[in-house]
C-alpha cells in the first residue's frame, strides 16, 4: 500500500491540513497529483491534492492502530503526471504562511480551471487534438480515381489534416490498404496574430546605465522609476534578451488586461513563438493550452496579468512588474495575494532578478529603494528629451468656469478639444466612473435606486438600459419608471463615461469618439481593437476610466482632460491621495508622446490638494515627501504592516458581537508594537448576504502576531455562523 497525505479542495481554515488516505501499490501517484476521495459524510467525492506519498508494508489495521484513527481509501487517481512544478509547490507553502490563508486556496489560484484541485475542474476543457494523415506509399495501381486524387495530394504535401485528404470513406480505405498513416497531434486553441519581427532599438545612455546596473548588480529587487514616455519598455526588452541568451526564462506582468495585447505585440516582435500569454480574458481552453505549453518548456517568455505570476516556467531569470503601483495586482478576494509580493518571493526562491517599473511607484516600494533594500534606477527624461505636457488646473467650484449646458465640462476644456479637432490631433478624456448616471431617485415618491445585495447606489447604464452595482455585480433591467409608484419622473445625478460620450457627440457631431472601460473590454478583443485604432488615428477622442491612463502610447494625442480629479480622494482609504496622484500623473503622461507638445487640463473641486497639484506636474519626489509625513503620523505603511480581519455573519448583531470578542481576545495578548483599530463598519456593510465588521491590526513585526491571527481564524471561522477572513497587506482601509 501507499499512504497519502491529501489536502481537501475545501478552502476552510479549520481543514487547512493534510488528511491521510490509502491507495494500492499499483496506482501511479505522486506529490502534485489530484485524487478523488470521500470525506466525512459527504455523499459526493471531493478532489484532493497529494502533498506526500509514503510506501508502507503495514496493513490497514496496523496503520490505523498506529495512527489512532480510521484511514479511508482514495476512490481513484485523476492525473497521469504532477500538475505543479516543485518550485511552485514550495512557493504555495511560503505564501500560505505569509497571507495566513488555506494552502489549498493558493494551489487553486495557481492552476487553470481544468487542473485545479476542485470538482469543477473535472468538467473543464481537456487536451484538443487534430488528426493528420501522411503518405506511406504512392503506388496507384488498383486505386479508384478519388483514392488516386487523395494519394497525389499527399504526395505533393507529405501530410495534411485527415479532413482535408478526402471523404472519411476514402481516407479509411487508403489507411486499410496501407497507403496512409493516421496519427494525432495536440493543437493550441489560442491563435496569436502574426507580428513582424523587429530589431532592438539602441538604448540611450540613461537606459544603458539602468540595463548595466540591473544585470551586474547584486540586489534581488530593482525599482525602475521613469517618467511617462522615458522608454521603460525598451529596457524590459533588452533585459529579456540578455537573460534569454543565458538560457533563462522571463515573466512579464502588466496590471490590466487591456494593456496585455500591446505588451504581447512588443514581445512577439522580438521573440516570436517563444512568447506565451496568460490572463483572464482567455477562454478556459486557451488558458489550459498555454499553461501546458509553458510547462513543457515550449515558451520561454510569458506575458500576462496578475495570475500569470504562477506561470510554470523553469529556470526563471527575470520577473518584471510594469506599472507596479496599480492596485489590480492585488487579488480582491480570498486568497488576498499581491502579485508584487509573490514575485519577490518567487524571485528569491529561483534566483531571478525582479524589476518593479513605474513612473509613480507605491510609497512602500520607493521607501525600500531609498533605504537600499531594493536597487534604485531612474529615467528622469522622456526619450529624445521630449518635454512633459504643460498642465492647467480648473476649479469646478467656480460656476464661471463651467459650460452651462453640461457642467461636467469646463469652458477651457471644450475650447481645447475643439482646437485639437481643427488640427487633426487626438484627445483623451479620463473619468474614473463608468455608466451613465451614478445616482437615481424618483422625483415623485423619493425612492432611491440601491443595490439589494450590498446597499450601494445603482448606476444606470443606458447602452443596455440596466441598473448595475459596481461593487458586487448585481444587475437589473430598467424600464424608465419607479418600481414603487411607477412614475416616469426619475431624477439622475452624477455622470459616467457613457454620459460624457453623449455630450461630446452633441458638441462635436463630426468627431470620431470611442469609449474604453470595463463594460467595453468585457467583449473579447474589443479593448485591443479600440487602442489599435486610436494609435492609428482612427478616433479623435477617447473617453475612458483608469485603464486608458496606464501604459498606452498614442503618438497623435496632444490633449488629456481629467474630468473629475476628485473621484479617488473621496474613497475612505489611507491610500486615496496616493491613488489619485498616480492616476492624474499617469493620465497627464499620455499627452505629447509624439512630435507635438502635449497639454493637460485637470478639472477639480480641490485645486490646492497636493495629490492634484503635484500629480498635474508629475512631481513624484515632492508628493513622496508630503505623503510620507502623513503615513508616519497615522502609522500606516511603510511605517507599519497591516492585516484586516473581516468578520461576517447573517445577522448584524452577531457580526458586532463577534468582532468585539475578537478585539478583546487580541488585546488580552498584549503583543508589543501591535495596535487594533475598530470594529468598523466597512464602506459596503452587506456583501454576499453577510453583515460585515472589520478590525485593522497594525504591527511592526510578524513574529508573534501572525501565528496568533492564523490560530484565531482556524478556531473561530465557521463557529456560530460567523465567518472570519484575513486580508494581509490590505490596499484600502
Return all residues near 314 (Cβ < 8 A) that are at least 6 apart: 85, 249, 297
Please, which pLDDT band fits residue 385 given cuts at 50, 70 and 90? confident
Short-list 307, 311, 320, CA closest to 291:
311
Return all residues near 399 (Cβ < 8 A) that are at least 6 apart: none
More confident residue, 526 or 484: 484
Query: Where does 385-478 have alpha helices with state H?
Result: 411-423
Q: What is the per-residue pLDDT for 184?
A: 92
Are the C-beta atoms of 132 and 183 separated by less than 8 Å?
Answer: yes
pLDDT per residue as tens digits for the range 222-272: 999 998 888 899 999 999 999 999 999 999 999 887 767 788 888 999 998
Short-list 431, 470, 439, 459, CA closest to 565:
431
Cα torsion 327, 333, 334, 335: sign: negative
Q: What is the pLDDT averaged over residues 586-605?
A: 87
Check pLDDT > 90 for residue 215. yes
Q: What is the pLDDT averaged over residues 110-137?
A: 89
> Measured between alpha carbons, how far is 281 from 286 in angstroms, rounded to an integer?
10
Are the C-beta atoms of 280 and 524 separated by less than 8 Å?
Answer: no
> Measured between alpha carbons, how far is 274 from 371 in angstroms, rounded to an integer?
37
Q: In what order do the strands lie in the sheet with 466-468?
A: 459-461, 466-468, 475-477
pLDDT per residue as tens digits for the range 448-458: 888 887 777 88
pLDDT per residue as tens digits for the range 638-663: 999 999 999 999 898 999 999 999 99
Share the mean pLDDT of the chain: 89
More confident residue, 351 or 195: 351
CB atoms within 10 A of CB 157: 12
Q: How many helices (H) and strands (E) does the chain have?
A: 21, 34
Q: What is the per-residue pLDDT for 628?
A: 95
Three cell numbers, residue 694: 472589520
* Residue 245 parent element (H or E): helix 232-245
More confident residue, 192 or 645: 645
Q: In angstroms, what CA-CA distances link 653 with 94, 161, 456, 685?
A: 36, 66, 21, 13
Three cell numbers, residue 135: 503518405
Check pLDDT > 70 for residue 524. no
- The pTM assigned to this predicted structure is 0.88
E strand map for 359-472: 375-379, 390-395, 402-403, 406-410, 426-430, 439-442, 459-461, 466-468
> Measured between alpha carbons, how far is 106 from 717 in angstroms, rounded to an integer?
18
pLDDT per residue as tens digits for the range 493-517: 778 888 888 889 999 999 999 988 8
> Measured between alpha carbons, how far is 165 from 144 in angstroms, rounded to an integer?
14
CB atoms within 10 A of CB 343: 23
**Strand, helix or coil for residue 20:** strand
> Chain centroid to CA 156: how far?
48
Long-range Cβ pairs for the range 24-30 (8 Å, 24+): 25/1, 25/55, 27/2, 27/74, 27/77, 28/77, 28/80, 29/2, 29/4, 29/53, 29/77, 30/82
CB atoms within 10 A of CB 572: 10
What percent of the chain shows pLDDT beyond 90? 50
Q: In angstroms, what CA-CA distances link 350 with 248, 314, 404?
A: 11, 9, 60
Amino acid at each position: 500500500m501507499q499512504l497519502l497525505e491529501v489536502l481537501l479542495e475545501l478552502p476552510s481554515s479549520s481543514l487547512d491540513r493534510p488528511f491521510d488516505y490509502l491507495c494500492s501499490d499499483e496506482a501511479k501517484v505522486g506529490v502534485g497529483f489530484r485524487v478523488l476521495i470521500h470525506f466525512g459524510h459527504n455523499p459526493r467525492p471531493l478532489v484532493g491534492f497529494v502533498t506526500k506519498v509514503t510506501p508502507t508494508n503495514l496493513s490497514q489495521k496496523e496503520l490505523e492502530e498506529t495512527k489512532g484513527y480510521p484511514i479511508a481509501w482514495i476512490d481513484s487517481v485523476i492525473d497521469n503526471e504532477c500538475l505543479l512544478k516543485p518550485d511552485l509547490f514550495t512557493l504555495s507553502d511560503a505564501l500560505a504562511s505569509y497571507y495566513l490563508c488555506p494552502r489549498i486556496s493558493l494551489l487553486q489560484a495557481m492552476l487553470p480551471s481544468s487542473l485545479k484541485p476542485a470538482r469543477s475542474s473535472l468538467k473543464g476543457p481537456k487536451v484538443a487534438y487534430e488528426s493528420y494523415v501522411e503518405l506511406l506509399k504512392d503506388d496507384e495501381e488498383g486505386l479508384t480515381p478519388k483514392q488516386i486524387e487523395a494519394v497525389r495530394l499527399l504526395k505533393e504535401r507529405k501530410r495534411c489534416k485527415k479532413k482535408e485528404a478526402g471523404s472519411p470513406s476514402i481516407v479509411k480505405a487508403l489507411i486499410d490498404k496501407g497507403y496512409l498513416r493516421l496519427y494525432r497531434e495536440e493543437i493550441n486553441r489560442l491563435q496569436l496574430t502574426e507580428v513582424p519581427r523587429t530589431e532592438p532599438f539602441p538604448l540611450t545612455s540613461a537606459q544603458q546605465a539602468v540595463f548595466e546596473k540591473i544585470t551586474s548588480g547584486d540586489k534581488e529587487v530593482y525599482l525602475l522609476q521613469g517618467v511617462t514616455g522615458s522608454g521603460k519598455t525598451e529596457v524590459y526588452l533588452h533585459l529579456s534578451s540578455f537573460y534569454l541568451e543565458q538560457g533563462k526564462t522571463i515573466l512579464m506582468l502588466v496590471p490590466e488586461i487591456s494593456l496585455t495585447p500591446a505588451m504581447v505585440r512588443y514581445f512577439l516582435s522580438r521573440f516570436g513563438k517563444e512568447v506565451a500569454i496568460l490572463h483572464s480574458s482567455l477562454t478556459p481552453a486557451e488558458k489550459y493550452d498555454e499553461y501546458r505549453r509553458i510547462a513543457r518548456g515550449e515558451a520561454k517568455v510569458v506575458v500576462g496579468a496578475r495570475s500569470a505570476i504562477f506561470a510554470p516556467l523553469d529556470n526563471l531569470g527575470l520577473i518584471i512588474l510594469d506599472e507596479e503601483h496599480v492596485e489590480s495586482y492585488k487579488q480582491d478576494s480570498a486568497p488576498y495575494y499581491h502579485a508584487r509580493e509573490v514575485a519577490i518571493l518567487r524571485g528569491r526562491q529561483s534566483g531571478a532578478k525582479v524589476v518593479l517599473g513605474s513612473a509613480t511607484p507605491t510609497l512602500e516600494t520607493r521607501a525600500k529603494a531609498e533605504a537600499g533594500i531594493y536597487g534604485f534606477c531612474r529615467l528622469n527624461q522622456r526619450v529624445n528629451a521630449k518635454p512633459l505636457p504643460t498642465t492647467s488646473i480648473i476649479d469646478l467650484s467656480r460656476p464661471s468656469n463651467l459650460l452651462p449646458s453640461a457642467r461636467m465640462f469646463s469652458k477651457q476644456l471644450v475650447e481645447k478639444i475643439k482646437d485639437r479637432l481643427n488640427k487633426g490631433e487626438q484627445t483623451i478624456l479620463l473619468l474614473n466612473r463608468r455608466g451613465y448616471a451614478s445616482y437615481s431617485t424618483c422625483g415623485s415618491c423619493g425612492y432611491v435606486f440601491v443595490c439589494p445585495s450590498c446597499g450601494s447606489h445603482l448606476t444606470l447604464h443606458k447602452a443596455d438600459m440596466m441598473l448595475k452595482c459596481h461593487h458586487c455585480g448585481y444587475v437589473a433591467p430598467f424600464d424608465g419608471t419607479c418600481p414603487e409608484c411607477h412614475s416616469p419622473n426619475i431624477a439622475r445625478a452624477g455622470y459616467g463615461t457613457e454620459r460624457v460620450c453623449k455630450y461630446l457627440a452633441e458638441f462635436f457631431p463630426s468627431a470620431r469618439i470611442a469609449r474604453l472601460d470595463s463594460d467595453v473590454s468585457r467583449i473579447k478583443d474589443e479593448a485591443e481593437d479600440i487602442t489599435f485604432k486610436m494609435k492609428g488615428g482612427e478616433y479623435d477622442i477617447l473617453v475612458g476610466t483608469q485603464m486608458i491612463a496606464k501604459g498606452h502610447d498614442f503618438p497623435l494625442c496632444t490633449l488629456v482632460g481629467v474630468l473629475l480629479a476628485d473621484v479617488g480622494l473621496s474613497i475612505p482609504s489611507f491610500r486615496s491621495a496616493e491613488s489619485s496622484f498616480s492616476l492624474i500623473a499617469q493620465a497627464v503622461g499620455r499627452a505629447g508622446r509624439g512630435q507635438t507638445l502635449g497639454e493637460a487640463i485637470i478639472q477639480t473641486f480641490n485645486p490646492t490638494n497636493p495629490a492634484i497639484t503635484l500629480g498635474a506636474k508629475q512631481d513624484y519626489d515632492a508628493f513622496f515627501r508630503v505623503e510620507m509625513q502623513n503615513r508616519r503620523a497615522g502609522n500606516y505603511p511603510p511605517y507599519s504592516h497591516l492585516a484586516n480581519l473581516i468578520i461576517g455573519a447573517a445577522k448584524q448583531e452577531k457580526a458586532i458581537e463577534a468582532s468585539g470578542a475578537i478585539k478583546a481576545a487580541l488585546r488580552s495578548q498584549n503583543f508589543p508594537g501591535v495596535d487594533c483599530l475598530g470594529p468598523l463598519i466597512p464602506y459596503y456593510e452587506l456583501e454576499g448576504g453577510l453583515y460585515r465588521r472589520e478590525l485593522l491590526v497594525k504591527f511592526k513585526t510578524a513574529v508573534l502576531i501572525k501565528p496568533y491571527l492564523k490560530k484565531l481564524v482556524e478556531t473561530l471561522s465557521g463557529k456560530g455562523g460567523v465567518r472570519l477572513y484575513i486580508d494581509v497587506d490590505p490596499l484600502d482601509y
